[in-house]
Chains A and B, each alone.
Chain A
Amino acid sequence: GENVEQHPSTLSVQEGDSAVIKCTYSDSASNYFPWYKQELGKRPQLIIDIRSNVGEKKDQRIAVTLNKTAKHFSLHITETQPEDSAVYFCAAGIAGGSYIPTFGRGTSLIVHP
């Protein structure tokens, strides 16, 4: 089955800095990669996703890049704000049929004001 590794487990930045979270996956057939944000005590929420036919996707301060050859994808947050503090999870899976994502272990992002 799919195995997703996520690094770092904890990331501490100053407000305004950029933050990068990286994930690698094992199954080369995986072709859909969502990212979730989970604030303390709250539910995970989808913030951005990317499919394997695209190398990069942006949504305001958030971007995701995908390197299919190396089987890794990254979340980039620019101009971080304290409200970006949360746990971020990456996921990977194979589209088609019933899509069941495998989640990474999560990255706790702390943005210091």
Chain B
Amino acid sequence: GAVVSQHPSWVICKSGTSVKIECRSLDFQATTMFWYRQFPKQSLMLMATSNEGSKATYEQGVEKDKFLINHASLTLSTLTVTSAHPEDSSFYICSARSGTAENQPQHFGDGTRLSIL
């Protein structure tokens, strides 16, 4: 089955540090990748959608300069949280899909737990 690898799984760092999270599709070409943020006991909040080779489309309220997304290849997308602060602490999870149609399922990564001290 389709596998999405997300790395790292857990990050603890000091306030002001920039953190990069990688999302890789291991056995399929991910035309579209999604980045979500999930707070404890809450739903998946879409942050941005990225199509390979294009600029990411950010959801309302998500700062594009704060959360830099790069989708340079069909198998890799990265999310960089720049100058992270404690309020950025959260669970970040990516998903990848080949194609744009709804019958192409989203395959989720295992998520990254980000803790900013």
With contacts A43-B110, A43-B111, A98-B49 known, is A103 near B44, CB below 8 A? yes
Report yes or no: A34 in contact with B105, Cβ–Cβ below 8 A.
yes
User: Can you name 5 A-B residue pairings with CB atoms under 8 Å?
Assistant: A46-B106, A97-B100, A103-B43, A103-B44, A106-B42
Question: Would you call A100 an interface residue if the criterion is a C-beta within 8 Å of the partner chain's C-beta atoms?
Answer: yes
A105–B106 Cα distance when bound, in Å, is 18
| Contact between chains at A43 and B42 (CB < 8 Å) | no
Secondary structure at chain B's binding surface: helix, strand, loop or mixed? loop
The count of residues in chain B whose C-beta lies closer than 8 Å to any C-beta of chain A is: 24
| In the complex, chain B residues whose CB is within 8 Å of the CB of A108 | 41
* Number of A-B residue pairs with CB-CB distance less than 8 Å in the complex they form: 54
For chain A, the count of residues having a C-beta within 8 Å of the partner chain is 25
Bound state CA distance, A46 and B103, in angstroms?
12
A42 to chain B, nearest CB (A): 7
- Residues of B close to A32: CB separation below 8 A: 102-103
Q: Which residues of B contact A43 (CB under 8 A)?
A: 4, 93, 108-111
User: Cβ of A89 and Cβ of B100 under 8 Å apart?
Assistant: no
**Chain A residues, Cβ within 8 Å of B68:** none
Cβ of A54 within 8 Å of any chain B Cβ, yes or no, is no
B13 touches A (CB below 8 Å): no
Contact indicator A98/B105 (Cβ below 8 Å): no
Complex Cα spacing A21 to B41, Å: 16
Interface residue A45 (Cβ < 8 Å from any Cβ of B):
yes
Given A105-B42, A106-B42, A44–B108 Cβ distance below 8 Å? yes
Give Cα distance in the complex from A95 to B101, angstroms: 6
- Tell me the nearest residue of chain B to A4, going by C-beta: B43
Whole-angstrom distance between the alpha carbons of A100 and B93 in the complex?
Answer: 15
Contacting A93 at CB < 8 Å: which of B4, B41, B45, B102? B102
List, in ascending order, chain A residues with CB within 8 A of B106's CB: 46, 101
Is B43 a contact of A45 with CB atoms below 8 Å? no
Minimal Cβ-Cβ distance residue in A for B100: A98
* Any A CB within 8 A of the CB of B32: yes
Please indicate the chain B residues that have their CB under 8 angstroms from the CB of A46 in the complex: 105-106
B residues in contact with A106, CB < 8 Å: 41-43
Q: Give B94's nearest chain A residue, CB to CB.
A: A43
